[in-house]
Amino acid sequence: MSNIFIWSGFILGTTALLYLAVCTFATRAWFKRRTATAISTPPVTILKPLCGMEPGLYDNLRSFCTQDYPEFQIIFGSQSADDPALDVARTLQHEFPHLDIQIVCEHSIQCGNFKVANLMQMEPYVAFEHLVISDSDIRVGNDYLHHLAGELDQPDAGVVTCLYRGLPAATIWSRLGALHINEWFLPSVLTGRLLGLNDFGFGATLALRRQSLERIGGFKVLADQLADDYMLAKLLREHGLKTVLSDYLVETTVHEPSFASLWQHELRWMRTVRMLQPAGHAFSCMTHTLPATLVAAALAHAHPWAWAMPATAIVLRIIMHRISLHDPESSLWLDLLLLPIRDLLTFAVWAGSYASRHVRWRGRRFAVRRDGYMLELGEERF
């Protein structure tokens, strides 16, 4: 029996360390990437669904107005006339009078996913064939559209999607949330890409042609999908079109005012992944390197090499942190202190994802089916 524990610890620990080493290699290689060059610069419509005031909203939305690109349209949309985010949109409309900025505020379409309902209401105002859909918490450089146009030029490209890096607000919970994005989510996607996987689509950016959207049935097919961004890319792949992971990195503001906010946000994301990719989610236990090596050390505690595993994990995590660090001057030492807490918290969220199918999203509670459809609690159960 003791040999079983020892070998289990060895396999668990070495697998987790190997995964982290591959993550480190994939992330370092990607940060040395070369970005695409646009062959053509077709006019683009940017769709920005809004829902409430967020930290940094003005700077986020403004970054889309300062694009170094020949012709583009921006449509800001909300389902509430009282939405304070609309005041920011109107400010930008006055600040950039030379731009084609439309503001759509309607509540005529009802569906489970309010963001998709918002997109459906904006669709009639779209002027151009090329579309870029981006969440309101995203910030970009002025070369953003130029890069997307180059990548959408690729043969059979159905949708171009962007990775994102977290910019934390001034709370410890926000910094923990940003660490999750920068040092677990981003490397995990890049490792999957290195292994030939492309089963993703992120709300940070979804660039596609309007005819491709119509090919899958329009936004309405996403009306009751919780992971609408993922499902949009999946449906396009099912129609023979590729998902292209852009070389362009965008930024997202991370505002978590409390532990409860951080926990519910990450739990919603993790439970959604579990329902859509159950096998991959189960095996992702190996991606939680520090907790995995601690368990491995406990299983094989009598052997000196056992405790070298968590020590190696910490060293690799510091290297990963240096690679993905956004602001080394201001956050290095604080983040290093938070890394063990962050890794243990990520594992706890992963474990908690198996407790229920229920998630919280913008004050509403939903149950998520295995096909990604969501039902607001109080409706018929399944």
- What domain range is 212 assigned to? 36-260
For residue 103, give the 3-state DSSP assignment: strand
For residue 382, is pLDDT > 50?
no
Residues 214 and 128 in one domain: yes
Same domain, 225 and 342: no
Q: What does the pLDDT look like over 216-246, one tens digit per residue?
A: 999 999 988 888 999 999 999 999 999 999 9
Beta bridge partners of 132: 46, 207
Give which of 180, 184, 165 is closest to 23, Cα–Cα.
184
Q: Select from 288, 160, 293 the least CA-distant residue to 229.
A: 160
* Percent of the chain residues past pLDDT 90, beyond the cut: 52
Q: How many domains does the chain have?
A: 2
This prediction has a pTM of 0.89
Grade residue 357 by pLDDT with cuts at 50, 70 and 90: confident
Q: Quick one: 43 and 157 in the same domain?
A: yes
Confidence at 379, pLDDT banded by 50, 70, 90: very low
Same domain, 246 and 295: no
The per-residue pLDDT for 169 is 85
Determine, yes or no, domain membership for 375. no
- Please compute the mean of the pLDDT values over residues 194-202 and round it to a whole number: 87
The confidence score (pLDDT) of residue 37 equals: 62
pLDDT digits (tens, 9 = 90+) for 144-189: 999 998 888 887 889 999 999 998 888 999 999 999 999 899 999 9
Q: Residue 376: what pLDDT?
A: 72
Examine the pLDDT at 272 and tell me if it is beyond 90.
no
Report which residue type is found at 277. Q
Q: Scan for tokens 């961004």, then name that residue.
A: 229
Of the listed ranges 177-191, 192-206, 272-286, the one predicted with least confidence: 272-286
Q: Which residues contact 44 (CB under 8 A, 6 or more apart)?
A: 69, 71, 72, 73, 128, 130, 131, 132, 145, 148, 149
Three-class SS state of 289: helix
**Residues 313 and 242 grouped into a single domain:** no
Closest CA to 188 of 271, 288, 337: 288
Burial state string for 3-34 with b = 16 or more CB within 10 A and e = fewer than 16? eeebeebbebbebbbebbeebbebbbebeeee
| Same domain assignment for residues 128 and 243 | yes
Residue 301 · residue 286 · CB < 8 Å: no
The answer to whether residues 238 and 193 belong to one domain is yes
- β-partners of residue 208 are 131
Same domain, 146 and 43: yes
Does 266 reside within a domain? no
Query: Rounded distance, CA 217 to CA 230, Å?
Result: 16
291/242 Cα distance (integer angstroms) = 36
Residue 209 predicted with pLDDT over 90: yes
Last residue of a domain, one of 210, 235, 260: 260
Q: Are residues 64 and 129 in the same domain?
A: yes
Q: How far apart are CA 363 and CA 377, in angstroms?
A: 12
pLDDT tens, position by position, 284-338? 888 888 898 898 888 887 777 788 899 999 898 888 888 876 554 456 667 778 8
Q: Is residue 373 situated within a structural domain?
A: no
Which pLDDT tens digit goes with each residue over 8-64? 878 888 999 999 999 999 998 888 876 656 678 899 999 999 988 988 999 999 999
Q: For residue 290, which amino acid is it?
A: L
What is the model's pLDDT at position 74?
A: 97
Give the mean pLDDT of 368-379. Answer: 72
- Radius of gyration (Cα) for the chain, nearest Å? 22
Q: Are 187 and 283 found together in one domain?
A: no
Nearest to 190 by CA among 23, 58, 46: 23
Pairing of strands 138-139, 374-376: unpaired
Give the model confidence (pLDDT) of 112-134 as tens digits: 788 999 999 999 999 999 999 99
Interior/surface letters 324-360, b for 16+ CB within 10 angstroms, e for the rest: beeeeeebeeebeebbbebbebbbebbeebeeebebb
Please report whether residue 377 resides in a domain: no
Strand partners, 74: 46, 101
321 token code pair: 């942190």
Let me know: does 226 contact 33? Beta carbons within 8 Å. no
pLDDT band at 369 (very low <50, low <70, confident <90, very high): confident
Q: Tell whether 370 is covered by a domain.
A: no
Phi, psi of 40, rounded to the nearest 5 degrees: -135, 160
Same domain? 188 vs 52: yes
Judge whether 236 and 221 are in contact, CB under 8 Å. Answer: no
Gap between the Cα atoms of 119 and 293, Å rounded? 44
pLDDT at 328: 47
Residue where one domain finishes, among candidates 260, 284, 315 = 260
- pLDDT on residue 35: 65
Picking from 260, 290, 309, the residue at the C-terminal end of a domain is 260
Q: Which amino acid is at 104?
A: V
Q: Where do the DSSP E strands lie in 177-261?
A: 206-209, 242-254
What pLDDT sits at residue 64? 97
In a domain, 364, yes or no: no
Residues 155 and 188 in one domain: yes
As beta bridge partners, residue 163 has 249
Q: What Å distances lie between residue 207 and 188, 243, 345, CA to CA?
A: 22, 10, 33
294 in any annotated domain: yes
Q: What is the structure's pLDDT at 185?
A: 92
- Report in angstroms the alpha-carbon separations of 120 from 78, 225, 270, 335, 363: 11, 14, 27, 41, 22
In a domain, 9, yes or no: yes
CA dist 265 and 246 (Å) reads: 25
Question: Is residue 381 over pLDDT 60?
Answer: no
CATH at 241: 3.90.550.10
